[in-house]
Structure 1
């Protein structure tokens, strides 16, 4: 496709491919072919970070192309031993005229890695356009959704869609679904954990809520922060579960499998590293942005068989450690762009049957992103800031900024305590499992899934696990009902006998009847019934999304229009059941 596009005289090519699909390999193959054909004589790779510059240089060396990752603007030139240089977008923005002169001096191929970064600041986009306008060829790469701002990204083609909005057009697209089908990437199991969270507000009020239940935005954020507090019980429980899963994967066919915890800041990363050391008995590799040895630590971890690495959020993009198979998403970043990049660290396949497992808080924004892994979005130039699909680029820049010192303590919020429950498992757009306390046999059913499975085998096993849990729950409920049914007549007989002996039989009998009702209510409390119906509805919505491509929100809206009633979070059991019946009739 690249040859066909460029043979017509086009100088630009945009390749969109899911993280882990081999964008670097593709770009280096193109570079080698162009060098061999004499169409170029120099290469410039532009990457987002210093670490990625070195990663590019190492990958290029393996195919016989020497790139200088230590090129500095102040030097202006490099050794003739090199075919080209690897620089950052910040370097280009600092001296676009220098890079323009270098580009114009010889026929140059420009590789723009993660091209969406050219829009991190308006000046960056202008600098990239100025510096590389004279290039003989430009190859732009990205593995994630584009931006929400309306600044055109340099050298990207935009065409109007049916609604008249200009959207980016890729010359080649290779999404997660394509790569999964071809065995290039691993299927991802998302294990979402909820639990009871307690915190104190700035006004001194102490609140308790269950993570993942319908809450206001402020309450969800507070519950989320409480879960990530290393002094609570949620993080230790989730880290222990993730380590159990890692052991299962390592013992099931991936003996060198590694895990990565993505933390919010340096203080949290250090605390999580301490928790892992206590859980595993070994200190994990700790990656901090202000550590000058961070790149070498990542490389050492990549070549080793060490179990765990803990890093701040900025390590999520582009870090190439193919043996990473288990992740803990311990950050409050929730943009689609950041989430896709973070999950991309775990999906790079090395052989068929490998699976990835990502542990995350059970909050609606993350669950939605996990259920829509296969959605591919283009950059729209007129997207409304209120569009629910819009990406919060300010939040992304905050997520990726260097954190060279711990954040200042927040005196307006205090986490008081937390607990952890496995809420659900998300795979291939569907949801599986029933709530299970951390450390329970039910949780172990999912943590113990084999490490080497084909995608269809994963789905079959998840359905089997869920069916077994539901059957066990029904048996327990039936047993409890039977025991109660036999206990009540005996209790009545006892109270009647007591009444015949002059006791207060009527009062005791009334209490017995009330006790029966209360006991039955304890067997199937309304919140459990509604919770189970919500999970079943979400599972069916996920399956319908996977089959039709409609977003989850649109499917829920259609069900509400068809059946009536409020959003699922406020719907009654009867309303939820009606929606379940309806979507099943749709074939969900």
Structure 2
């Protein structure tokens, strides 16, 4: 079946029908669209559907898409550049991942930016909103607390204050979320709420609002997400209370599992994630990933060292950056050095190339294992993730849903849907068990218990330093692993179109590549001419040549050029020499030395 013949999922069809009505001049009272889509359910395609129809009909002139993190900014840009969906939806729109430089859209259909960027330059983005009729997309809107009485402090409140004027001036608003709950219990910015409720409940019947929902049950029935196999690992933990090891009583060992949360649940979990239990759980996840990759290699006849898509990857979620480093060291110890260098990456905020590690994990066959913290929880679009090691202390439902959704995306390279499922290894504590029960009830599926395994793991008696929790973790060990599979319903729809092997670069990546090529050509001309000009060391001829190129192209810096302008600069550099245009620097004292030495360029021209 061709890409254009593949049907959309039910929530995507609902949005397509709504924007079609808006394009026809119907549903004129709708100014806000709320899409509550289960994590992994295909939320990122909704802005593409809306923009393609509404810009084409002239309802809006462009789209501005605001996301909570830089990695999601690049993924949003890729959603518009995806060739399969461009063919399926029949659109030719592109947006660019922008920062706070002027003219963020650069002649394209719009731009994608982050909450942080808007908060840093609210006037710039508000001016862009006022210039043209805009479809404003707020991704993961639950990150934004409502403002008003008892206004919250901190970064999230600053985001809300900066984004509120944009919401007011947008022609149409599309608000996306995988959950309509905030961990702090506050209301969410801009959403209407029912009055008189104990807990905040969005008012889905509010005037001017259209609400599109897509639950986990619907996603499973349509085979839009994968079923989940939970591997619950039980264990025992011991610790010292009071924060000082001298004279303090030892607590435990206490089991992680229990009929209900108690005073020992969180200290036991805290200890388990920092001692031997964590090693045991991580090792189970590592072995499961290795078995999966070996089985898929064998089924496809691939040799052990050959890189290929669709073999399955492991995501390790750590409680903090220090433990992420420790888990990375454990994984290195279980691999040959060459394999570890190829397959392992760490993505935490203290790492200089964290976003590069995330991008490589998402877009290339290797690396196969990523260790991270909260920065990869939400929105990470890496369909090859098949196994998650949930070594995190967070137990709020929204965060856990985001975490398991990293493995429930369908991998187009991994074969049939029936042969794929997500595996989540987690501590068998009652807080996680409560979350899992809510997932089961939401999906209306029955648990099927599988075999139990007993794990014999050595104890790690070495204490860790004092923590802010007021306990000193001593030791923990795994006791038993049990699996529970959540099964999907019947297949009602097809999955995302196949991605071609070499998809085109999204706009911002293409711009970066063009800027690098321009810089390389300018530098090459400077290196070639330095010998002839006999420039003293430190003459910075490349700097002067860059100034010449800027003047040749309307005094516009490369960072402000559109892709078309960068391509024009490349074409010009292929036919011309910057040395022959040094007269453009006349009168600029910063380049007086170059002007005095221009005779060398003139002499070069005379010798041709």
Shorter-chain TM band: 0.5 to 0.7
Find the counterpart in structure 1 of residue 290 from structure 2.
247
Summarize the Cα distance change of 1:132–1:99 in structure 2 as closer, same or farther, 3 Å threshold.
farther
Summarize the Cα distance change of 1:240–1:123 in structure 2 as closer, same or farther, 3 Å threshold.
closer
Verify: 1:310 aligned to 2:371, yes or no: yes
Q: CA deviation digits over 1:385-431, x for unaligned, max 9?
A: xxxxxxxxxxxxxxxxxxxxxx9855942222211123432333xxx
Aligned equivalent of 2:417, options 352, 372, 386: 352
Summarize the Cα distance change of 1:187–1:165 in structure 2 as closer, same or farther, 3 Å threshold.
closer
The count of residues paired between Structure 1 and Structure 2 equals 400
Q: Which has the higher mean CA deviation after the structures are superposed, 56-65 or 150-159?
A: 150-159
Point out where structure 1 has 5 or more consecutive residues left out of the alignment: 378-406, 429-453, 458-588
Verify: 1:140 aligned to 2:171, yes or no: no
Q: CA deviation digits over 1:211-263, x for unaligned, max 9?
A: 1135874421121122111xx33122212211222133334448520010001
- Whether the 8 Å CA contact 2:99–2:117 is kept in 1: the answer is no
- Whether the 8 Å CA contact 1:92–1:131 is kept in 2: the answer is no
Summarize the Cα distance change of 1:217–1:21 in structure 2 as closer, same or farther, 3 Å threshold.
same
Alignment of 1:182-201 (within 5 A): 182-201=222-241
Q: Which has the higher mean CA deviation after the structures are superposed, 33-42 or 308-317?
A: 33-42
Find the counterpart in structure 2 of residue 19 from structure 1.
39
- Whether the 8 Å CA contact 2:95–2:105 is kept in 1: the answer is no
Q: CA deviation digits over 1:182-228, x for unaligned, max 9?
A: 11101011111111212222261112111113587442112112211
CA separation in 1, counterparts of 2:261 and 2:330? 31
- Whether the 8 Å CA contact 1:199–1:413 is kept in 2: the answer is yes
Find the counterpart in structure 1 of residue 248 from structure 2.
204
CA separation in 2, counterparts of 1:40 and 1:290? 40
Q: CA deviation digits over 1:15-43, x for unaligned, max 9?
A: 11111111111221221121222222221
Q: CA deviation at 1:79?
A: 5.5
Verify: 1:235 aligned to 2:278, yes or no: yes
Summarize the Cα distance change of 1:412–1:165 in structure 2 as closer, same or farther, 3 Å threshold.
closer
- Whether the 8 Å CA contact 1:263–1:329 is kept in 2: the answer is yes
Residue aligned with 2:424, SS: strand
Q: CA deviation digits over 1:512-558, x for unaligned, max 9?
A: xxxxxxxxxxxxxxxxxxxxxxxxxxxxxxxxxxxxxxxxxxxxxxx
Verify: 1:294 aligned to 2:294, yes or no: no
- Whether the 8 Å CA contact 1:53–1:86 is kept in 2: the answer is yes
CA separation in 1, counterparts of 2:36 and 2:469? 43
CA separation in 2, counterparts of 1:96 and 1:287? 29
CA separation in 2, counterparts of 1:371 and 1:166? 22
Q: CA deviation at 1:328?
A: 0.6
Summarize the Cα distance change of 1:158–1:52 in structure 2 as closer, same or farther, 3 Å threshold.
same
Q: CA deviation digits over 1:165-185, x for unaligned, max 9?
A: 753427111111111111110
Summarize the Cα distance change of 1:124–1:233 in structure 2 as closer, same or farther, 3 Å threshold.
closer
Summarize the Cα distance change of 1:332–1:151 in structure 2 as closer, same or farther, 3 Å threshold.
closer
CA separation in 2, counterparts of 1:324 and 1:332? 21
Find the counterpart in structure 2 of residue 220 from structure 1.
265
CA separation in 2, counterparts of 1:216 and 1:166? 26
- Whether the 8 Å CA contact 1:177–1:374 is kept in 2: the answer is no
Q: CA deviation at 1:70?
A: 3.1
Verify: 1:114 aligned to 2:140, yes or no: yes
Summarize the Cα distance change of 1:26–1:80 in structure 2 as closer, same or farther, 3 Å threshold.
same
Summarize the Cα distance change of 1:205–1:168 in structure 2 as closer, same or farther, 3 Å threshold.
farther
Q: Which has the higher mean CA deviation after the structures are superposed, 78-87 or 236-245?
A: 78-87
Residue aligned with 1:157, SS: coil
Find the counterpart in structure 2 of residue 417 from structure 1.
475
- Whether the 8 Å CA contact 1:160–1:167 is kept in 2: the answer is no
Alignment of 1:62-73 (within 5 A): 62=82, 63=86, 64-72=92-100
- Whether the 8 Å CA contact 1:180–1:187 is kept in 2: the answer is yes
Summarize the Cα distance change of 1:79–1:109 in structure 2 as closer, same or farther, 3 Å threshold.
closer
- Whether the 8 Å CA contact 1:16–1:141 is kept in 2: the answer is yes
CA separation in 1, counterparts of 2:319 and 2:140? 22
CA separation in 1, counterparts of 2:483 and 2:104? 51
CA separation in 2, counterparts of 1:412 and 1:150? 26
Alignment of 1:268-283 (within 5 A): 268-281=323-336, 282-283=339-340
Summarize the Cα distance change of 1:80–1:94 in structure 2 as closer, same or farther, 3 Å threshold.
closer
Find the counterpart in structure 2 of residue 42 from structure 1.
62
Verify: 1:29 aligned to 2:49, yes or no: yes
Residue aligned with 2:439, SS: coil
Residue aligned with 2:41, SS: coil
CA separation in 2, counterparts of 1:288 and 1:33? 38
Point out where structure 2 has 5 or more consecutive residues left out of the alignment: 1-13, 87-91, 146-154, 205-209, 298-309, 444-464, 491-608
Residue aligned with 2:325, SS: helix
CA separation in 1, counterparts of 2:167 and 2:216? 30
Q: CA deviation at 1:55?
A: 1.5
CA separation in 1, counterparts of 2:74 and 2:259? 45
Residue aligned with 2:474, SS: strand
Q: CA deviation digits over 1:52-103, x for unaligned, max 9?
A: 111211222224433232321xx34235333222111222234434322211
